[in-house]
A and B are shown apart, each in its own frame.
Chain A
């Protein structure tokens, strides 16, 4: 193996190890902090009669919660290494089954939203960057500023009010209609799209505004770069000049992609709640409230893994987009 290749390989392995370390640290911290909080899932309910202490002690023992923290941790690590993420006390199902249900839904929503945000945001931002100061640019900047300033849950409620309650164009919540199974296949597809539309748009709108702002700003900077002037002086078409400038302007946007990848998961919490989208974000919030230790820890593992993946993806894309970042 040649020198540059070896360097690149060791750099990639280093980043992967770093990512694993992040996932381990986040899950361990979650494991410890959750158990340090007062009460547990067998603490008596707020307004109902309590179960006798002796019975609760038995229940805790059944779940291993009576063991010292290090023993609980070792057991959890051993099970996790075998792929057993534990048992969700809130859903009364294995965590693996719960995650299998909720994770694809969030990934679908996030993936679509991220792709839409990137494509639309980059296109809008690049267009603005080449026409900085024009009326169109000022209008779009104002609109994107408004969209970016809106909290996602508020935007979601606004969408619900306008498109569901006032216009009646879309269903309020869920992934499909209650009568979905009784619809013909074509209508089933439309039904899915109708349910997806609002949460997708809500998440995409904020992301688009963010990408557009970054892309615009970096495009304006790139537009003034010497190599762009040189390209224009060499007589390249305006379209070709823009392509050159855009490639330079991609670097900060790709960095943003890495940052936004896990952030979308956070945004999905509110959007999932408002639109009744049974994904991972909202499930995690419920699990925290219910002291569902195993489910929360699994969610943190997934969340931190997504952060690491986002970061790795961004690094990889940067290397492609900007040759200067490649290892010598």
Chain B
């Protein structure tokens, strides 16, 4: 007989056993080449799946496998002309003799997931939605070189450009996903986000949308009648898991098959977990410390400290970037070269970065008149240089939400103190920080930039025309050599000429040191060892998702659940 006081414990254990025991189902065997279920833990729940409005990775990951572009960029990330692009929703395309228009032929077998045929009107309507300012699409300005889209017939969509550009093909296909016009009739563009399609997408991708349970999961299934062939997996579930620790636990316990990105701390555990494999791909993002070259009090004047190129170069020389990257990022980052990740550079060995040389930095500052005052002539670790009564002191704004940037800022502060520079760290909430930088009210900040294959960011962030107004050159860097080289990069049809110009632009900006280029991130992802993803492209891990495979021998009950007998 069980003693009464033991009953509750017994009951508890029974309940635990009962609760922990459920979930398994005897499933039929499955020897198909296609098949399998993947559960992907997302860092946040998407707000929308409507392509013009998606912004974050977790939204893109879903929208980009449900919808199709007209053509996909190749693995070399070439953006000049149409070299390397693979036909997708467009089966072919025809350039006009003057290159001012491109006529795309919509794939004749392409169908929306609701069964309706795809026509050129869909392409035209999609372009209208992307570019109408009322629709609040952040991609609109990336399509600014496209004047209009016409539809000479039901299968042909012709893009008309405002001017010839080497990247006009890339502009037309890369930033635009084609949406079903028949489901977007008479929509109020100021309320675009509320259309049913935003939460129940109907695309042409190899995965079709099945359902979205708010806060819980989004389900996609292979579109078995897709014009490009079905996806290799049967199902994909995207499960929002906002807590990083919980997401990694899900991955390590097998509750989720995929999570991105892992951080340095979780990498070690991932490599020790046999059921998980770590994959990496370049993140196309660099982090840097941009300086304000203009005086925050009067933008017409140079910054009293950072306006001097000798100071900026000396600060770069005193920064042990290798140590910072190893300390903060370990193996998931590399020292940045300049304002473009290596993957876009034709040959980074041609570039000469500013070397790490503390004595050289001190000598440079001495020669520029920045010296330790006589009052503080015995050089100590904390003595601060000055020139004409101006101390070598500046403030670094740090976004309070980024642990890695905070760590790097602390290391920078310590390293720059050695050469007599006083650095004050100011941690700010992102909105407040962005407002300060946009208004030029800063000395330096721990910045980052998400680049794209088109390299338009070079002009958007660093060119003279991007100073003030609508541009993002908040630090006021201006170099005619750099501007001319970037113009060549973005306008030359000759690939060799463009590559040379890119090297020249990069070297110019490296020498001018408007920023300390800190790190190029690498994105590590954790994936169940039973999945074979092929290659993870730099444009996003999700791009290859329709081709991911789970060999039949490695499939588990989850892969077979709900399939009935093996098909």
Q: Do A and B come from one complex?
A: yes
- Would you call A172 and B249 a contact (CB within 8 A)? yes
Given the interface contacts A160-B245, A273-B242, A274-B246, does A46 sit within 8 Å of B47 by beta carbon?
Answer: no
- Would you call B241 and A276 a contact (CB within 8 A)? yes
Given the interface contacts A39-B431, A92-B47, A190-B18, does A165 sit within 8 Å of B249 by beta carbon?
Answer: yes
Residues of A38-89 contacting chain B, CB below 8 A: 38-40, 43-55, 58-59, 62
**Chain A contacts for B292, CB-based, 8 A:** none
**Chain B contacts for A213, CB-based, 8 A:** none
- Would you call A179 and B20 a contact (CB within 8 A)? no
Chain A residue nearest to B193 (CB atoms) is A92
- Would you call B20 and A278 a contact (CB within 8 A)? no
- Would you call B431 and A48 a contact (CB within 8 A)? no
* Best-buried of B138, B240, B246, B472 by chain A (most CB within 10 Å): B246
Residues of A209-249 contacting chain B, CB below 8 A: none
| Complex CA distance for A47 and B53, rounded to whole angstroms | 17
B177 contacts the other chain (Cβ, under 8 Å)? no
Which residue in A48, A90, A183, A193 is a CB contact (below 8 Å) of B19? A193
| Complex CA distance for A177 and B219, rounded to whole angstroms | 12
Q: Give 9 new A-B contacts, CB below 8 A, not counting A48-B449, A50-B470.
A: A39-B430, A40-B431, A178-B237, A194-B20, A273-B243, A275-B243, A275-B246, A278-B214, A286-B242
Residues of B213-271 contacting chain A, CB below 8 A: 214-217, 219, 237, 239-243, 245-247, 249-250, 252-253, 255
Which residue in A49, A167, A276 is a CB contact (below 8 Å) of B246? A276
- Would you call A190 and B22 a contact (CB within 8 A)? yes
A252 contacts the other chain (Cβ, under 8 Å)? no
Which residue in A38, A182, A273 is a CB contact (below 8 Å) of B435? A38
B133 contacts the other chain (Cβ, under 8 Å)? yes
- Would you call B246 and A172 a contact (CB within 8 A)? yes
1/0 contact string of A5-44 vs chain B (CB within 8 Å): 0000000000000000000000000000000011110011
- Would you call A43 and B434 a contact (CB within 8 A)? yes
| Complex CA distance for A102 and B216, rounded to whole angstroms | 11
Chain A residue nearest to B41 (CB atoms) is A173
B282 CB to nearest A CB, Å: 16
**Chain A contacts for B547, CB-based, 8 A:** none
- Give the B-binding residues of A (Cβ under 8 A): 37-40, 43-55, 58-59, 62, 90-94, 101-102, 105, 157, 160-161, 164-165, 167-179, 182-183, 187, 190-191, 193-194, 197, 273-276, 278, 282, 286, 289, 291
Listed from nearest, the 7 A-B pairs whose CB atoms lie closest are A278-B215, A39-B431, A182-B562, A92-B193, A178-B237, A169-B20, A47-B448
* Best-buried of B22, B243, B438, B457 by chain A (most CB within 10 Å): B243
Given the interface contacts A160-B249, A179-B561, does A53 sit within 8 Å of B23 by beta carbon?
Answer: no
Which residue in A50, A171, A197 is a CB contact (below 8 Å) of B255? A171
Given the interface contacts A39-B432, A179-B558, does A92 sit within 8 Å of B48 by beta carbon?
Answer: yes
Task: Provide 17 A-B residue pairs closer than 8 Å at the C-beta atoms, listed in order of the A residue.
Answer: A38-B431, A46-B430, A62-B136, A62-B190, A93-B193, A157-B245, A169-B20, A172-B255, A174-B241, A178-B217, A178-B219, A187-B22, A190-B22, A274-B243, A274-B245, A278-B216, A289-B401
| Complex CA distance for A52 and B141, rounded to whole angstroms | 8
B360 contacts the other chain (Cβ, under 8 Å)? no
B433 contacts the other chain (Cβ, under 8 Å)? yes
- Would you call A291 and B253 a contact (CB within 8 A)? no
A43 CB to nearest B CB, Å: 5
**Chain B contacts for A160, CB-based, 8 A:** 245-246, 249
B512 contacts the other chain (Cβ, under 8 Å)? no
- Would you call A278 and B246 a contact (CB within 8 A)? no
**Chain A contacts for B469, CB-based, 8 A:** 53
**Chain A contacts for B84, CB-based, 8 A:** none
- Would you call A174 and B435 a contact (CB within 8 A)? no
- Would you call B19 and A190 a contact (CB within 8 A)? yes
A200 CB to nearest B CB, Å: 12
- Would you call A102 and B18 a contact (CB within 8 A)? no
Which residue in A48, A55, A168, A197 is a CB contact (below 8 Å) of B140? A55
B1 contacts the other chain (Cβ, under 8 Å)? no
- Would you call A92 and B215 a contact (CB within 8 A)? no
| Complex CA distance for A197 and B19, rounded to whole angstroms | 9
- Would you call B242 and A282 a contact (CB within 8 A)? yes
B87 contacts the other chain (Cβ, under 8 Å)? no
- Would you call A174 and B216 a contact (CB within 8 A)? yes
**Chain A contacts for B86, CB-based, 8 A:** none
Given the interface contacts A91-B47, A102-B215, A160-B246, does A39 sit within 8 Å of B252 by beta carbon?
Answer: no
